Amino acid sequence: MVVGYKTYLELIQGLLTDQEVVATGMRGEVSRCQTAIDRALAGDQVAIVSSGDAGIYGMAGLVLEIARARGLRLGGLEAAAADLRLEVVPGVSALNAGAALLGAPLMHDFVVLSLSDLLTPWELIARRVELAAQGDFVLAIYNPKSAKRTWQLPAVQETLLKYRSPDTPVGIVRRAARAGQEAVVTTLGQMLEHPVDMQTVLFIGNSQTLAAGGYMVTPRGYGGKYELE
Amino acid sequence: MVVGYKTYLELIQGLLTDQEVVATGMRGEVSRCQTAIDRALAGDQVAIVSSGDAGIYGMAGLVLEIARARGLRLGGLEAAAADLRLEVVPGVSALNAGAALLGAPLMHDFVVLSLSDLLTPWELIARRVELAAQGDFVLAIYNPKSAKRTWQLPAVQETLLKYRSPDTPVGIVRRAARAGQEAVVTTLGQMLEHPVDMQTVLFIGNSQTLAAGGYMVTPRGYGGKYELE
């Protein structure tokens, strides 16, 4: 059985043959995972489909949370006695795919952060942005804006401008590695002039990040040690 | 032409046919990229092979840095006039592959950090560890220890123990997705008891991270909103 959010199942249409398919809508995550676990306990082989990397803001965590809440034994790395055998298959997250489109923004230490306050209080998100800025981390920002949630990204920009130049390169990638993908390199000062939605990831450079021939790159420091020209 | 560190070229032996192959040793990164760029400028199609994701502590950044230092036009996202056409192919980094082996440690905001002080001053690395701890970020730590560099990981542990319980789950993954891969879930208090080297990535949980049936999971917060049992 294959279980997933319907948009993601459509993306893998070509891979599906005669499997039973259970498609659910947005916000159906919990019931989707419960169904998958129930069926696996009944002896079926079940795949839960997530977009990008299931382990990064995807479904892998919820499956483990539910299994734990239900007291199921998973065997784990020691492959001990188990009610359920689990395999998490890694993937290319929007942080990997988006960065590749932009050049190489994530070549040095970075923070990955979601601005969605659906499951996380805004105070914690805001604090993390401030600390990331203080640490001169590159930032990869997921879920920057939704139809109802529009003021967070300007707040992030304001915080970052306390620590970084408005000329800091910023990359904006929408639908990375999907049909209709879009990518642009702009600056911290001008980043709000570009359209952004829930399918967008923002890459905000650190103090070392450079614009490079239409791309962006965060140097690792070779320039200080070697002659690059 | 295919250019790369010899260990990585060995990993893709089965994919190579009649291409010219240039293998270089460790620390040969700069000359490797210079060679690749020179050959591309001469009209050859050149692939530079990196392990994991070329954009995360890989070779993509150095290629862009060198191209920039040499004043080469890359065309960039606007596909303008270019001396060199570049495509960065994203991959599955050790943060993706290692997390999948451990369960789902990266389900909430996280910091990716290298402890190598070859190109980055230790003071900056130490400050980033402290800020990551203050922000209750999960940490994925690359290059935790080398033959010569052994005191950094104990220093990181000491910093984190100021903010997090010694029972905090920690995952240690060596050679993720390669022959001889190893993964173990331990705790912040006991993490130094396990062997660690340059091929190891550590995943240090935040205050919410749980051990779950032999795996580790960082909840996204569904438990506070929905009934998971």
Whether A88 sits inside 8 A of B104 (CB atoms) is: yes
For residue B225, pLDDT over 70 is answered with: no
H or E stretch covering B170:
strand B169-174
Interface of A with B in 130-159 (CB under 8 A): 131-132, 134-137
Identify the domain boundary among A53, A78, A103: A78
pLDDT value of position B105: 98
Minimum CA–CA partner of B72 in chain A? A213
Chain B neighbors of A101, CB-CB under 8 A: 77, 88
- pLDDT, tens only, B133-154: 999 999 999 999 998 999 999 9
Quick check: is B89 in a domain? no
pLDDT at A208: 96
Same domain, A32 and A124: no
| CATH code of the domain covering residue A157 | 3.30.950.10
pLDDT at B220: 87
Q: Determine the structural domain holding residue B35 and report its residue range.
A: 2-78
B22 and B51 part of one domain: yes
CB < 8 Å to B183, chain A:
77
Torsion of CA B79, B50, B181, B14, to 10 degrees: 100
- Whether residues A101 and B89 touch (CB distance < 8 A) is answered with no
- β-pair partners for B145: none
Give the ipTM of the model, two decimals please: 0.95
Q: What is the dihedral of CA B10, B11, B15, B20, to 10 degrees?
A: -30
Spatial neighbors of A4 by CB under 8 A, at least 6 apart, are: A22, A23, A24, A32, A48, A49, A50, A59
Residues B98, B204 within the same domain:
yes
For residue range A128-177, list pLDDT tens digits in order: 999 999 999 999 999 999 989 999 999 999 999 999 999 999 999 999 99
Say whether both A101 and A204 belong to one domain. yes
Are residues A20 and A104 both part of a single domain?
no
* CB atoms A215 and B86 under 8 Å: yes
pLDDT digits (tens, 9 = 90+) for A82-97: 898 999 999 999 999 9
- Please report the pLDDT score of residue B221 as a whole number: 77
Domain count, chain B: 2
The residue that leads in pLDDT, A28 or B92, is: B92
- Looking up tokens 């009610």 gives A83
Q: Which residue of B has its CA nearest to A118?
A: B221
User: Closest partner residue to A77 among B68, B108, B215, by Cβ?
Assistant: B215
The answer to whether B29 contacts chain A (CB < 8 Å) is yes
Chain-chain contact of A109 with B119 (C-beta, under 8 angstroms): no
Share above pLDDT 70 across residues of chain B, in percent, rounded to a whole number:
97
Angle at B83 between CA B77 and CA B85, to 5 degrees: 45
- pLDDT at A205 (0 to 100): 98
Instruction: Tell me the Cα Rg of chain B.
Output: 20
